[in-house]
Structure 1
Amino acid sequence: MDILTVADVMTEIQDKAGQKNARRAYDIFEGIYAQRGIIQTPEEVLAAKKSFKAIDDISAKRLMGRYVLPLSAGSGKTTFMLAWCVFIHRHNLDYSVAIASFQVKDCFNLREQLMALGIPEETIAVTHSYSAEDIAKIENACPSTDTPWKRRFLLVTHARLKDVEHRKDPLSFHGEARSIIFWDEEFRSRKGFHFDIHSLRKDISGFIRVANDVSLKGISNEELNTIKSTLQEALTCLESHLEHSNEPKAFLPKMDIGTDTQGKAILKSFTKLCRMGQLNERTISFMEHLVEGHQMFTQGSNVFGYVTVISDEIQQMLILDASYKLSKLSQLDKSVTALDIHVPRTYKNLQVTYMDCPSGRGSTARMLATPKERADLMAKAAEYLKGIPANEAVLIFTYKGQDEFEAAIRRELTLLGLDMNERIITKDGQDKPKYAFLTWGQQNGTNDYMYCRHMCTIGVLDLGTDNIVAQAVAQTEGRYLFDDEALSVQELSVSDCAQRVYQAICRTAIRNHGHNEPCTAALFLNRNVIDCVEILKRALPKAKFVKADPVFRTRETTTDKVLKDVVKLLQGLADDVRSISTIRMFKLLENRYGAPLTRSVKTLVMGKLKAVLSQECFWWEHEGRTLRRVPELI
């Protein structure tokens, strides 16, 4: 017979209390859903109850740390937060809550919803920096709370929780850490950055060379000498790290900048020079990271580094991120644990049409500015949009830059016979635009476009190789560069694109689990990220995916040519050559071409290498930074 200790008994009692709290919170959640006319499936009920148990476990510190709830879009994650707050208020529990949202207007909306559910206004704090003039322009807005630590429910933006040293709004409640912090959408505790050493050398050496000959009003000779010596130290350190080798190493400059006060004075001097046009923002940013001692690494001619923006002291967090399972970048952060809570869902009423088309910001801008390419692109887009039934709406995603993108798209589609000012009447009687636009960066959080049953992308944001590597470095605190088994940049980039497109699709009616009417999406995707469709197929089970003809006639790219040459190179190696590093492989190819390959081409080649080898050179395999002959086939 097992003998229970006092600790065992207490754990069992606490667990039963947690289950009771979860049931009560779920009852409130179910009541909110009933008022909205939403009926849950048994699987959804079970997932909701498990979610509330996890919320109580975190609040009661039975679970310690940061957790993510990766339920799909439209699963009621926001309603979980509301129901939990109502439960705490009704039962007068000694718990406190902070909810971190993307925008201030989200905080205002949550405040209105909490009050509508019976939570007194005086128990809710909203912190922001809006002026009285700003507040007057926003519906449901309120002044920032002066004493947020006295109120049980705190509503803040992500930005307000970043950088604990400068955060004005303490997360405490009467001197104690809040029981739980809900973080709505994607979470990043560290922010990556990247610099090109050649560009920095050019900027810094150019300034040092002419510094004595230019007129620098407001800067004394002593200040100028300090600036020059600091920049010279940075330049010397950069040059010592500049190698043609691709092997990473820590960047540890020994900068003698004195005290923190002296360091801040140096940064102020740099800012003055930037305003005068003597130093560019890139160099100023690099020097800020250097002076403030942020962790950096070098690889070839690149500097990568990161800044911690959410203090490690901020724990007891539940992240509500529908795209977590898609984003391999998010999964690199090992300080976050995914909860094993799932809801099976199908999207059999969704059809996704995708086609090969340049979709980067520069490519999209060029196409819209070039008559022939613009005509081909807009004809394809108009073909899709004209097929949308009357009194149904479409949400179009493109890049920021009103005149360059949205205005140009509207103008061209109007010329092709579409009334871009057309309005529709929704089922609940609202007057809405048939053609709605959002830009990348707005694909998370909003439910304002659930009246749209269709979605189209004209351009899809791709962070680019260097930004992807920088964020991978940040997520892993630098380990990514040193891990031979790490995911390739291409894999990270494709999954990042997939989560962004998934979120965009889920701004429309398809996010509603009870929506059964036909929905569609049209994706114009660069061939470098078109593999994200395979990830979307897993994220949107039972959806119908249709591959359409490319917008433009395909041509062999540099990446295609290099991949063919890699196969030829491997086929030509002597039988006794058992392995070859990818660095050596690229060096041999560059010698043949008589010119270096760009970093982006190398990244794309590495991302596609496994697939090409399996089809055309199966006796070789790709592992990390090495190609090896398959042992069984030697």
Structure 2
Amino acid sequence: MADGTAPPSFFLSSLDPGVGKTTALIHFVQHLLRSEHHRDVSILLCVSRLDEIARLVEEIGLDEADFAVLTRNNEVNQLSSTQPREARVLFTTHAMVMSRCHGRRFQDVEVFQYRGDVRAVRVWDEAMLPIEVVSLSTDQLASLRDPLRHTHPALAKLIEELERQLVASRGRGTHTWPDIEGATGISCWSARRGLEQRHVAYLDTLYALSGRCVLLRKLHNASTVITALDSRDAIPDDLAPVVILDASGRVRATYAQWEKATGKLVRLPSAIKSYRNLTVQVMDKGAGKTAWAKHGCSLAQEVALLIDSKPDEEWLVVYHKAVSSGGIPDLIRGLLSTTPDRVSFLNWGRHQGTNEFRHVQNVILAGVNNYSEVDYEVMTRCHSRIRNDEKVTKASVQAMEAGEHMHHILQALCRSAVRQGSASECGPCNAYIIAPKQSGIRDLIPVVFPGCKVSTWEPAKVKATGKVQQALTFAERHFEDHPDEVLRFTDLRAELGYDASNFRDRIRNHSVFKAGLEALDLEETTIGNYRYRNALAKKPQSFGSVGGSSYLADV
């Protein structure tokens, strides 16, 4: 790229963490800036996280006159007073490139240029997804009706009719989206005036889908909400040539399907890394968001008991943030019998890029990062360039799912001591993963970490004793005889001979009692004119939920 001889391809470097991608980049920039033959050659460095910019500036040893920062964060931009168009090295984010290049060619976006010319060297750190999913649900359509009814009644009427058609589809098949401007004579720009920001986003998607054949899906089986799904380019083709530095490149199906569909992705030579110093233990148990919501106490107890088994060592726990309002760390800390200060927590979504925990030799994935089946289908269509009205094979969707599992596991475990060691082998580390057997994750681990040792993490056999066991036995027998009734805490206290204070401290707040209630499928409830929970009841049965899923495709 610096010499102007690179073909217009997307070059993928998928070296594993710790092999030296970033080190190579640092030395390359240093040498380029010193090269007499490349005085006019400039660089664009695209990162995923803002804190990476300051680190790279320091490690490269850049003078303020040599670099500029272009992000949405003014504080980060002030790392240098040099104007972006005057700096040989320009740092920016993935989001900024996608935003500024939306609907435009890269070469036409002046803010990324150096003294009027396109920057010759382009580096994209971490994952690149060239296609983005766009979606619009019937709920989002409905929210547009009232704001538009008085200002643009024809548009409001079209939206109402479109909503009716989507509902009638029951979330099956495809739908040809109407040409919104052609049908109403109203431009998107005109319709946006006076709308709230969220409504502007929905409106933009409404117009962007014009004339497209969209997928119609229910995100959850029991849902009445229908979502229209399609995709669009997130990265302009003329960003190539560009080097992508992504360790997940060797396991993620997005790259394999992109490479096969377009031929524009070129894999750079890689290197084999041994993970013989890594031991991975897997517990065959559901631990998605739904499982944590229903059985959080028993899952947290498993994690806490494991941490307590090594009371003098540091731990990293990767968890689902969108459960119990982010309360999983507090739940686990509350069950520890040893000091919690040595336990760090990192939620899914922030499990990439950081090196803060690279010294930690014990890491737990308290569940894996799952998406819904619809997500995997849409991602497969995007990267394989399969039209919405064409059939997508089950095998390709399964490959996408496996690739995403491997990607997230690789990134999460490589926040720990796995990324240490030498360039040829990882540092010593013990990893523990909770995942359902049907996910196939146990079989994927040797692919992600060649040479590692895989064994079973057996659930702890914690038995209730004494009054806790008596309370659980009484509750179990009560609901066997009266499954549709409740069990008042006053009756349970009377059976145990406890007053309210002792019952709360010794029984109700006991972790083994809570785990026992989960096993019996019981929950606390409120009966009568009370503001607090004062009884136990059978949990209501839910139908059609997708265990542990989270939806990616959104406006």
Task: Say yes or no: does 1:400 pair with 2:336.
Answer: no
Q: SS at 1:474's partner residue?
A: helix
Deviation at 1:446, TM superposition (A): 1.5
Tell me: CA distance 1:506–1:362, structure 2 relative to 1, closer, same or farther (3 Å).
same
Task: Say yes or no: does 1:298 pair with 2:215.
Answer: yes
Tell me: CA distance 1:177–1:528, structure 2 relative to 1, closer, same or farther (3 Å).
farther
Tell me: CA distance 1:89–1:304, structure 2 relative to 1, closer, same or farther (3 Å).
same
Deviation at 1:285, TM superposition (A): 4.5
Task: Say yes or no: does 1:251 pair with 2:151.
Answer: no
Give CA-to-partner distance per residue, 1:416-440, whole Å, 9 cap, x none.
Answer: 302112xxxxxxxxxxxx2111111
Residue of structure 1 aligned with 2:72, choices 126, 129, 133: 129
Tell me: CA distance 1:412–1:474, structure 2 relative to 1, closer, same or farther (3 Å).
same
Give CA-to-partner distance per residue, 1:73-115, whole Å, 9 cap, x none.
Answer: 2111111111111111222332321111112221111111121
Residue of structure 1 aligned with 2:308, choices 376, 379, 386: 386
Tell me: CA distance 1:342–1:389, structure 2 relative to 1, closer, same or farther (3 Å).
farther
Give CA-to-partner distance per residue, 1:542-597, whole Å, 9 cap, x none.
Answer: 111113346899xxxxxxxxxxxxxxxxxxxxxxxxxxxxxxxxxxxxxxxxxxx9
Partner of 1:32: none
Partner of 1:82: 26
Residue of structure 2 aligned with 1:416, choices 302, 314, 336: 336
Residue of structure 2 aligned with 1:535, choices 444, 449, 452: 444
* 1:193–1:470 contact (8 Å) kept in structure 2: no
Q: For 1:403 and 1:193, how far apart are their aligned partners in 2?
A: 28
* Larger displacement relative to structure 2 (145-154 or 472-481): 472-481
Spell out the pairing of 1:272-311 with structure 2 (5 A cutoff): 285-293=201-209, 295=212, 297-299=214-216, 302-311=227-236
* 2:136–2:206 contact (8 Å) kept in structure 1: no
Q: SS at 1:162's partner residue?
A: helix
Task: Say yes or no: does 1:109 pair with 2:55.
Answer: yes
Q: SS at 1:126's partner residue?
A: strand
Letter in 2 for 1:305: D
Spell out the pairing of 1:390-539 with structure 2 (5 A cutoff): 390=312, 392-400=313-321, 404-405=325-326, 407-421=327-341, 434-479=342-387, 482-485=390-393, 487-514=395-422, 518-529=428-439, 531-539=440-448
Task: Say yes or no: does 1:194 pair with 2:135.
Answer: yes
Give CA-to-partner distance per residue, 1:140-170, whole Å, 9 cap, x none.
Answer: x844555212211111111111123579872
Higher relative contact order (CA 8 A, sep 6+): 2
Q: For 1:285 and 1:172, how far apart are their aligned partners in 2?
A: 29
Tell me: CA distance 1:516–1:309, structure 2 relative to 1, closer, same or farther (3 Å).
closer
Deviation at 1:286, TM superposition (A): 4.2
* 2:188–2:204 contact (8 Å) kept in structure 1: no
Tell me: CA distance 1:500–1:254, structure 2 relative to 1, closer, same or farther (3 Å).
same
* 2:311–2:339 contact (8 Å) kept in structure 1: no
Partner of 2:114: 173
* 2:315–2:343 contact (8 Å) kept in structure 1: yes
Point out where structure 2 has 5 or more consecutive residues left out of the alignment.
218-225, 463-542, 550-555
Q: For 1:247 and 1:552, how far apart are their aligned partners in 2?
A: 48
Q: SS at 1:304's partner residue?
A: strand
Tell me: CA distance 1:359–1:453, structure 2 relative to 1, closer, same or farther (3 Å).
same
Q: SS at 2:111's partner residue?
A: coil
* 1:68–1:338 contact (8 Å) kept in structure 2: yes
Letter in 2 for 1:525: A
Tell me: CA distance 1:250–1:319, structure 2 relative to 1, closer, same or farther (3 Å).
farther
Task: Say yes or no: does 1:160 pair with 2:99.
Answer: no
Letter in 2 for 1:80: A
Q: For 1:297 and 1:455, how far apart are their aligned partners in 2?
A: 42
* 2:214–2:230 contact (8 Å) kept in structure 1: yes
Letter in 2 for 1:418: T
* 2:125–2:245 contact (8 Å) kept in structure 1: yes
Tell me: CA distance 1:122–1:200, structure 2 relative to 1, closer, same or farther (3 Å).
closer
* 2:315–2:362 contact (8 Å) kept in structure 1: yes
Deviation at 1:236, TM superposition (A): 2.9
Letter in 2 for 1:297: V
Q: For 2:356 and 2:389, how far apart are their aligned partners in 1?
A: 41
* 2:65–2:80 contact (8 Å) kept in structure 1: no
* 2:45–2:91 contact (8 Å) kept in structure 1: yes
Partner of 2:455: 546
Point out where structure 1 has 5 or more consecutive residues left out of the alignment.
1-54, 136-140, 212-218, 273-280, 369-373, 422-433, 554-596, 604-634
* 1:237–1:253 contact (8 Å) kept in structure 2: no
Deviation at 1:338, TM superposition (A): 3.6
* Larger displacement relative to structure 2 (536-545 or 92-101): 92-101
Spell out the pairing of 1:234-273 with structure 2 (5 A cutoff): 234-237=159-162, 239-240=164-165, 242-243=168-169, 246-248=172-174, 250-256=176-182, 262-271=187-196
Q: SS at 2:247's partner residue?
A: coil
* Larger displacement relative to structure 2 (450-459 or 512-521): 512-521
* 1:194–1:470 contact (8 Å) kept in structure 2: no
Deviation at 1:130, TM superposition (A): 2.9
The RMSD of aligned alpha carbons is 3.4
Tell me: CA distance 1:239–1:67, structure 2 relative to 1, closer, same or farther (3 Å).
farther
Q: For 2:356 and 2:85, how far apart are their aligned partners in 1?
A: 32
Q: For 2:30 and 2:388, how far apart are their aligned partners in 1?
A: 42
Task: Say yes or no: does 1:363 pair with 2:291.
Answer: yes
Partner of 2:43: 97
Q: For 1:419 and 1:348, how far apart are their aligned partners in 2?
A: 31
Q: For 1:540 and 1:355, how far apart are their aligned partners in 2?
A: 18
Tell me: CA distance 1:107–1:323, structure 2 relative to 1, closer, same or farther (3 Å).
same
Q: For 1:401 and 1:600, how far apart are their aligned partners in 2?
A: 15
Partner of 1:351: 279
Tell me: CA distance 1:193–1:351, structure 2 relative to 1, closer, same or farther (3 Å).
same
Q: SS at 1:324's partner residue?
A: helix
Letter in 2 for 1:161: V
Tell me: CA distance 1:129–1:284, structure 2 relative to 1, closer, same or farther (3 Å).
closer
Q: For 1:359 and 1:194, how far apart are their aligned partners in 2?
A: 28
